[in-house]
Amino acid sequence: MADQSPTGSINRSTVVLSKELDGEDWRRAKAALAVALDPQGNGASVAWDNPRSGAKGSFVATAAPFSKNDKICRSFKAHVVPDPHADRHIEGSACRGPDGDWTVADAREEKQAKA
């Protein structure tokens, strides 16, 4: 019987925001997410990019921090451009664990109005 426990080698949040993001894209995005959601922050949009892959995006907090399951959480909007042919607008929330890392708790792609 194979061990089915998670190993940490796959970051679930990468798939939540965009399946097209690679590990380095997500590392850069996660750093921007942490700054954007900092409860002491100013609520400004925080951009990220990966010149190697061409992926880029930004995060902005959309509400005050709230407590959920003994964690500090915050809602956000994200703009993710995993490649020149993809443009994603996402809204969701993330929570900060005891280790200080933010984990995306939920995310869904916003429907964009057609012009």
- Coil vs helix vs strand at 25: helix
Q: Where are the domains of the chain?
A: 20-109
Could you read off the pLDDT of 10-62 as tens digits, one per residue? Answer: 344 443 677 888 999 999 999 999 999 998 888 899 999 999 999 999 999 99
pTM: 0.80
pLDDT at 1 over 60: no
Q: Buried b / exposed e across 37-60, counting CB within 10 Å, b at 16+?
A: bbeeeeeeebebbbeeeebbbbbb
